[in-house]
Every structure is written in C-alpha cells, then in structure tokens.
C-alpha cells in the first residue's frame, strides 16, 4: 500500500512515526500534515486556524479522559446523566493526575491511525486517484470520529467541508 503514497504522504506517515513516543495515533498524522508546508492539506488547516498547539491541547484533553473525544463521551454517557469531566477530575483527585493516560508502548501504529490510513486509501479510490496524497489523509482524518475529526469539524473542516474545498482546488 505504501508504494501508492505520494512523496508528501510518505513524509507525513514517516514524520508521524518519528513524533510518536509510544504508538502512532491520528494526532501524529494530523501534526505531520501541519508540518508539510506548501501542501493542500497544510494550506486548508492553516486557513481554518488549526495549529499544532490546538491539536496538542485537544489530544491532551482527550488523553485525560481515557482517550475519549468530547463527542464520544457525550454519546456514551448522555443518557446516564454522567459528566465525563467530573468523573475524570474525581479519579485524578483520588488517584493522581494523568492516571487514565494509557501506558507507554513500543512505537507502532495504533488502531485509530490504521483506520485513518485505510480511510485515506478508500478516499483515494473513491476519487479515482492513482496515488494516495496528503489530501486523502486529511479527508480520512476529517471522516474519523475521534479527536482529530472533532477538532477539524470545530474549525470548519468537517468531512463534507474538506471534500468541497478540495473540489475547488486548481
């Protein structure tokens, strides 16, 4: 599959792997996209106000919640009347800050990152593109229901928004 990646897409995945302390996540892929100056994805992210600091903050918040995005937590707990922020704060008061953070592992691609890479391939196929590029990675991140997808949507880069903007490229 990697042989179908453009040079930029290969750099994104390679940089994501270098950034990861444990497993490569959607966060690392998004941060690596931001670093690829002059690309379609970097331009769209910059225009939307997505920065490395905002990505980091969103993922640190989710990490404190055991990896749940706000949307995932709300969907799971809404009917039970449970506020995940209150639960996390209570657990951290009792057991220490960051106790819900997953343990460090050897560097590998996590399930979310694998889903994004598979999604990027599906995006390239659906657009009938011969190569998988940075724009396909951005589309896959926007379509993903995790923290990256939520962060992108809050910056006006939902899946449909990204698709529309990419259609308008020259």
Show pLDDT as tens, one digit a residue, over the chain (170 residues).
556 788 999 889 888 888 887 788 899 999 999 999 999 999 999 999 999 999 999 888 877 776 666 666 666 665 566 666 776 777 678 777 776 666 555 557 888 889 999 999 999 999 999 899 999 999 999 999 888 999 999 999 999 999 999 887 63
Task: Give the integer Cα–Cα distance in Å for 19 and 29.
Answer: 9
How many CB atoms sit inside 10 A of residue 10's CB?
14
Return the pLDDT at 79: 59
CA-angle at 84, arms to 79 and 86, nearest 5°? 120
Return the pLDDT at 104: 54
Query: Quick one: CATH architecture of 2-167?
Result: Orthogonal Bundle (1.10)
Return the pLDDT at 134: 95
Return the pLDDT at 170: 39
Task: Give the integer Cα–Cα distance in Å for 114 and 150.
Answer: 18
Residue for token pair 């690596």: 32
DSSP code string of the chain: -GGGB-HHHHHHHHHHHHH-SSEE-HHHHHHHHHHSTTSHHHHHHHHTT--HHHHHHHHHHHHHTTT--HHHHHHHHGGGT--HHHHHHHHHHHH-TTTTSPPP--SEE-HHHHHHHHHHHHHHHHTT-SSB-HHHHHHHHHHSSSHHHHHHHHTT--HHHHHHHHHT--
How many CB atoms sit inside 10 A of residue 57's CB?
12
pLDDT digits over 121-167, tens only?
999 999 999 899 999 999 999 999 888 999 999 999 999 999 999 88
Return the pLDDT at 62: 78
Rounded percentage of the chain residues whose pLDDT exceeds 70: 79
Q: 55: which 2 tokens?
A: 């990505």
């Amino acid at each position: 599959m990697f042989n179908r990646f453009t040079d930029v897409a290969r750099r994104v995945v390679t940089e994501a792997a270098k950034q990861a302390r444990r497993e490569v996540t959607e966060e690392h892929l998004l941060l690596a996209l931001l670093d690829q100056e002059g690309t379609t994805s970097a331009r769209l992210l910059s225009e939307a106000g997505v920065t490395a600091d905002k990505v980091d903050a969103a993922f640190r918040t989710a990490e404190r919640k055991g990896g749940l995005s706000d949307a995932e937590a709300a969907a799971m707990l809404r009917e039970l009347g449970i506020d995940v922020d209150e639960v996390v704060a209570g657990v951290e008061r009792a057991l220490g800050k960051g106790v819900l953070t997953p343990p460090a592992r050897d560097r590998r691609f996590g399930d979310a990152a694998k889903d994004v890479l598979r999604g990027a391939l599906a995006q390239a196929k659906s657009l009938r593109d011969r190569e998988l590029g940075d724009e396909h990675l951005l589309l896959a991140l926007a379509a993903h229901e995790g923290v990256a997808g939520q962060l992108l949507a809050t910056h006006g880069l939902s899946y449909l928004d990204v698709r529309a903007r990419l259609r308008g490229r020259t």
